[in-house]
Amino acid sequence: MQGTIDGFSYGLVTPLVAYFMACLGGALGLRCTTRSMLVSHTWRPGWLALGSAAIGSGIWTMHFVAMMGFTVRGTPIHYDKAMTFASLAVAIVMVGVGIFIVGYKGARGTALFTGGTITGLGIASMHYLGMASMSLDGKLEYDTVTVGISVAIAMGAATAALWAAGQVRGFLWSVGASLVMGLAVSGMHYTGMAALSVHLHGTAEPATGESPAALLAPMLIGPLAFLLLAGVVVMFDPLMVMGKPTVAPVEQKPGIPAHTHVRHSAHRLRFRPRRTVEHRGSRTPQNR
């Protein structure tokens, strides 16, 4: 029996909140990625890791906020907790691999394509692993073509977002990129949901696993607390807001000490003849 799917049981509330979460995670992650390009190699891994966690947490929270509005008429939906949080780990790790590639190799050419592809696959893997965590009295089936379109959207969105992060054009540029990224991630999610069909078994056996209400608290409070902390870091770091270093990067400074050294050398050479003349003059009366 074909199940009736409703992805908007709470109206526009869940899609809008989900979109906001995707934008928030994307904005923080892109600013951290941009910040990593303005510091020395010692601090770069930390900023890239923070950006990976922010983007991964944002898209994961976006997915499950949107799933709060997903219902199938005739059967309750439950979630497996271990698989649900495994999807969060997959998102953070795969997004992190892509961000680290761009952070160290640059947002251009092969590095951008590779990083965007891995990040996009991480977003898609999180989505479909999160869908696999559902248990209900039925069977989930997907349209292959629509699934492929959703994966392509995720890869394109990730590549565009990483390219924007590599431009280092200021805070407003990253805000615009995060809005586009949030729209693309939400579009990927609902495109993937459009590929889904449910065939109900019609049995009386209850579904196993955690209920959505039981997962709601850790699913929202944990990632939201992390995103809030990352937001505080962004707000109180002036380089994160301005999008450019206030001083020249370390790699551009070697010429300055050399120039200073030349000026000191000239200064010393200018006074050496005077010391010599005074020294000789002081010996002349003694020789006479």
Burial class (CB in 10 A: 0-12, 13-18, 19+), 163: middle
For residue 35, what are the CA distances in angstroms to 117, 162, 188?
A: 22, 13, 27
Average pLDDT per consecutive 10 residues, the chain (288 residues; last block may be shorter): 79 89 86 78 86 89 88 83 89 92 87 92 92 88 94 90 74 78 89 91 60 62 74 62 45 47 44 48 47
- The residue to which tokens 């892509």 are assigned: 98
According to the model, what pLDDT value does residue 209 have? 56
- The residue to which tokens 């586009």 are assigned: 180
For 18-33, give one letter per residue: b (16+ CB within 10 A) or e.
Answer: bbbbbbbbbbbbbbbb
Secondary structure (H, E, C), the chain: CECEEECCCCCCHHHHHHHHHHHHHHHHHHHHHHHHCCCCCCCHHHHHHHHHHHHHHHHHHHHHHHHCCCEEECECCEECHHHHHHHHHHHHHHHHHHHHHHHHHCCCHHHHHHHHHHHHHHHHHHHHHHHHCEECCEEEEECHHHHHHHHHHHHHHHHHHHHHHHHCCCHHHHHHHHHHHHHHHHHHHHHHHHCEEEEECCCCCCCCCECHHHHHHHHHHHHHHHHHHHHHHHHCCHHHHHCCCCCCCHHHCCHHHHHHHHHHHHHHHHHHHHHHHHHHHHHHHHHC
According to the model, what pLDDT value does residue 261 have? 43
According to the model, what pLDDT value does residue 270 have? 47
According to the model, what pLDDT value does residue 173 have? 75
According to the model, what pLDDT value does residue 215 have? 62
Among residues 248, 278, 219, 274, which one has the least CA distance to residue 80? 219
Q: Model's pTM, two decimal places?
A: 0.75
Residues in the chain: 288
Among residues 114, 110, 61, which one has the least CA distance to residue 85? 61
φ, ψ at 143 (rounded to 5°) = -80, 120
